[in-house]
Structure 1
């Protein structure tokens, strides 16, 4: 399998998982359809169904689709993009590169956890988008910041998200937070939240980027990575 095919397969799995696990699958379907610049009519024609079916799913008027339909829908989005030259898919091709040794911990929660709960447990301050503190996430990934940012690829970036993008990306050993937020800013897929460890002096640009992207940004005061991971695992 070529690197392009591997990337496409990984992207397919991530999108399907995100839709199936979402509280509002229709919203996620709409998000990805619009991300791929595909109209409801184009998608319906590709699937050989009525555009009203797509509209009903996205609006929540129709019962959540099963995983089989979601997979067909996602494949249709990817195929439409390929017919256009694969512009969107190629956005996930190597941008930066992250080796497996850069991921220090990755877990899915047993149940959705609010950012406020995570903030309290990890002794973190929410420094951007505090109004989204009640937002719930489904997991977290702890990443060695410098190693990740200097070596990441689009394919590897997808692996940071486990089964869903509704998670907190935790960057450790970052002094100002600017580089991780720049990486998140240019990435084609965004996390639900970012948590920073090791901050010496928070760069205002990091906060500004978080506000622009509407990504709640947290900064922990914990003294060690081990303690941080232990706290996250207790949730």
Structure 2
């Protein structure tokens, strides 16, 4: 496989994973925001790339606008990947190992999933955990 074909395959596989996660999410706006933040791309940059107002991106991410359809998700995902590629493709390459391994770790994908802070005591209660040491 040529280097260009390999890069295109990587981009395609990453786009497929991103779009799938966003589309199948119970909160697609939050999933969309997670990926945008993960790629470190501002709402103004992606909106400019897509030729829409920054408020459109903000409305999707906050849930004020109806959940984006697959066509819109595809355009946004492609924009994220293209913007990253134009600036060196560093974020795309960060996922390369995961995309080509046989066992993709969901933990790595979920790194940015929790956008709201939660107290440890509440988390322990939710997962019915026993606290081994409360400290001093």
- TM-score norm. by structure 2 comes to 0.73
Aligned to 1:4: 7
Which residue, 110, 113, 122 being the options, matches 1:190?
110
Asked whether the equivalents of residues 41 and 51 of structure 1 are also in contact (C-alpha less than 8 Å), the reply is yes
**Alignment equivalent of 1:160, drawn from 100, 104, 112:** 104
After superposition, the C-alpha distances for 1:2-52 in whole angstroms (9 at most, x for unaligned) are: 222211111000100111111110000000000000000000001000100
Q: Which structure 2 residues correspond to residues 208-227 of structure 1 after superposition, within 5 A?
A: none
> Larger relative CO (CA 8 A, sep 6+): 1 or 2?
2
Aligned-pair Cα RMSD in Å: 2.5
Which structure carries more helix by proportion?
Answer: 2
* Greater share of residues in strand: 1
Q: Is the 8 A contact 1:40 1:51 kept in 2?
A: yes
Structure 2 runs not aligned, ≥5 long: 112-119, 128-136
* Aligned positions, number: 112
Taking the aligned partners of 1:7 and 1:15, their CA distance within structure 2 comes to 12
2:68 is matched with which residue? Answer: 65
Q: Secondary structure at the match of 2:75?
A: helix
> 2 CA distance for matches of 1:49 and 1:6?
28
For the pair 1:45 / 2:37, whether they are aligned, the reply is no
Q: TM-score, normalized by length of structure 1? A: 0.43
Unaligned runs of 5+ in 1: 95-153, 166-183, 192-210, 218-235
- Which whole-Å CA distance do the structure 1 matches of 2:18 and 2:50 have between them? 17
